[in-house]
Each structure stands twice: as C-alpha cells, then as structure tokens.
Amino acid sequence: MASKGPMVQGTDGSDHLHRQTIALHYSQSVINKSRLKWSITMHYLLFGLMVAKLTDDILDRFDVFILELQQLYIPKPMIWEWIWTLSVFFNYIASKAMKKNNPTSMKFYLFIINLTAIFPVFYAMIVYLSDFLVYFETRDVTKVTHVWNKYPLAVIWYGFLLVALQVHLAQFVFAYKLIKVWSLKKRRE
C-alpha cells in the first residue's frame, strides 16, 4: 500500500546501486576462501597418494607383513616424505582461520606450510634433479641412480612434485591474499 503523502527526499530508488554493492573486501574474502578450500582438497588427494606410498613402511614399523606389498619392492621413504606428510594436518589451522577470519592463525599457517610442504618439495626436487636430467638426456635407465621396477624414480617423483608445488604455491597465495583482505578490513573498523 502506498502512502498518500509526498515522497520522502532520498528514497526515490536512485540509490539502489549503492545499496546493492557488496564491499570489495567481503567478496575478495569469499573468493579466496573458496580457492583455498579447493587447494586444501587437492592437498588431501596428494596426501592419499603419499600414504599409499608410505603404507609399506608404516606396516613394517608395526611388524605387519603383507606379501603383495613386499613383492612391490617399494623404496624406503626419505625424511622429506615424512615431513611433507605432516603438512596435511596443518590444513585444520587454515580451516579454523577461515571460519573466524583470523589473520594471526593464517600467518601461522603460511609459516608452517612453507616449513612442512614447500621446503620438502623443493628439497626433493633438488635430490632427484640429477637423475631426472640424466634420464631425459640419455633415456637409459641403467645410468640413473634411483630406479623402481625398471622405471626412473626421479620421473615418477617429479610428476608428483610438480603438482604438489602448484598446490602449495596456490595455498600460499590464497592464504596471503586472505591475510591482506582481513588486515584491510580490520584497519577500516
């Protein structure tokens, strides 16, 4: 029902553009939270692959022997694999920080993801670089140091490491952007 009196100044509807816009920091926060969640999901998928590789060693430590796994002759894990595996548990910190828009927790997440995910990936790339280059120059598996079932281990690892590096760099970038957006919002308030 319309009122019979004169229209109040400023309510003619011309300010609808101002009322319908969402502050930029809110939309950026939503976008980067979504992207970080997808990156964390990819991290979990990579974690599943790593656990499949580490299963033989984990079962050995508990004196559980499965003949089918023993016959695969899976190489013993290096220390970087165990450190990288720990990185998945720190995604919980990022999830909590996203729920509460907490830049301090997200800064800690950035630090810990560098320490447990990005640095081990770079370390592994350095370890396997010489084998990777030798194999691609010669295509001869006998000249490669690390071999598994007649396949150069460096090539297999580089497939994993390149994807992991992309995922972790994406996590880093999106977490950093969230920190910037949340810090900007705090300064405005």
Q: Look at residue 59 in the predicted model and tell me its pLDDT.
A: 92
Q: Look at residue 14 in the predicted model and tell me its pLDDT.
A: 62
Prediction pTM value = 0.82
Q: Look at residue 139 in the predicted model and tell me its pLDDT.
A: 86
Q: Look at residue 146 in the predicted model and tell me its pLDDT.
A: 84
Domain-wise residue ranges, the chain: 25-188
**Residue 48: how many CB atoms within 10 A of its CB?**
11
* Mean pLDDT, 10 residues at a time, the chain of 189 residues: 63 59 74 96 98 93 87 92 97 96 96 98 96 91 86 94 98 96 72
- One-character DSSP codes across 30-92: HHHHHHHHHHHHHHHHHHHHHHHHHHHHHHHHTT---HHHHTTTPPPPPHHHHHHHHGGGGHH
Pairing of strands 147-148, 151-152: antiparallel
Q: Look at residue 89 in the predicted model and tell me its pLDDT.
A: 97
Q: Look at residue 186 in the predicted model and tell me its pLDDT.
A: 62
